[in-house]
Amino acid sequence: MFSLAQESSPFIVLVVIPLLIMSARIIDVSFSTLRIVYLMKGEKVFAAGLGFFESLIWLVAISQIIQNVTNLPAYIGWAAGFALGNYLGLMIEERLAVGKLIVRVITAVESQALIDALKANGYGVTHIDGQGAAGKVKLIFCVIQREQFERVVTIIQQFNPKAFYTVEDVRTAREGVFPPSRGVYQRMGLFPVFVRQPKKK
């Protein structure tokens, strides 16, 4: 394994090596976070690929730690890279928005406008009558692509701001009704979310 410790320059020992270790840890911990998420979603092949690069980069980082056991900034770089890697990995996963969610909406007010708006925007909706603590309610179920979550919340808040809703991950789903997926720029939040109004009868 290559080593930079043989260089006599204090700049390399105290700055370059710790920064390289921190960068390697940011990458490998980000991969680790994404790998766990994709394993939970059943994406075995993609998770295996991430695991390969994660372990390879980790070996590079740990080899530099071993070769610089008396270098305190290297340890700080290791710890900082671990912390930033967790944060960055979760940010990337949120932006990629892979997988499906089930949204359950419970509303005690007139809900037909909300149901029509969800259908007008291409979502499959199942709704049933229920009984809540304060009287009759409507239960609305909607399985969506995770990338569409913000759009669905926008619709709910527009038509029923006080609606109670819960969200859960869905590992697998078949034969659902889903609107077209957004492009990568919309996933990254570079364009606003538009809500299609239901047609008046």
- The answer to whether 140 and 110 are in contact (CB under 8 A) is no
Q: Picking from 37-41, 80-84, 87-91, which range would have the lowest pLDDT averaged per residue?
A: 37-41
Q: What is the pLDDT of residue 169?
A: 80
Confidence of residue 122 (pLDDT cuts 50, 70, 90): confident
Q: What is the mean pLDDT of residues 30-42?
A: 86
Q: What is the pLDDT of residue 191?
A: 47
Q: Model pTM? A: 0.63
What does the domain layout of the chain look like in residue ranges?
10-96, 100-187
CB-based contacts of 83, cutoff 8 Å, min separation 6: none
Tell me, rounded to whole angstroms, the distance of Cα 107 from its chain centroid.
28
Count CB neighbours of 99 within 10 A.
20
Interior CA angle at 141 toward 136 and 144, to 5°?
Answer: 155
Q: How far apart are CA 156 and CA 142, in angstroms?
A: 12
Q: What is the pLDDT of residue 1?
A: 47
Q: CA 50, 56, 61, 62 torsion: positive or negative?
A: positive
Tell me, rounded to whole angstroms, the distance of Cα 186 from its chain centroid.
14
pLDDT tens by residue, 15-31: 899 999 999 999 999 99
Q: What is the pLDDT of residue 180?
A: 63
Looking at the domain covering 100-187, what would its CATH class be?
Answer: alpha beta
Q: What is the pLDDT of residue 162?
A: 84
φ, ψ dihedrals at 106, nearest 5°: -120, 120
Q: What is the pLDDT of residue 185?
A: 44
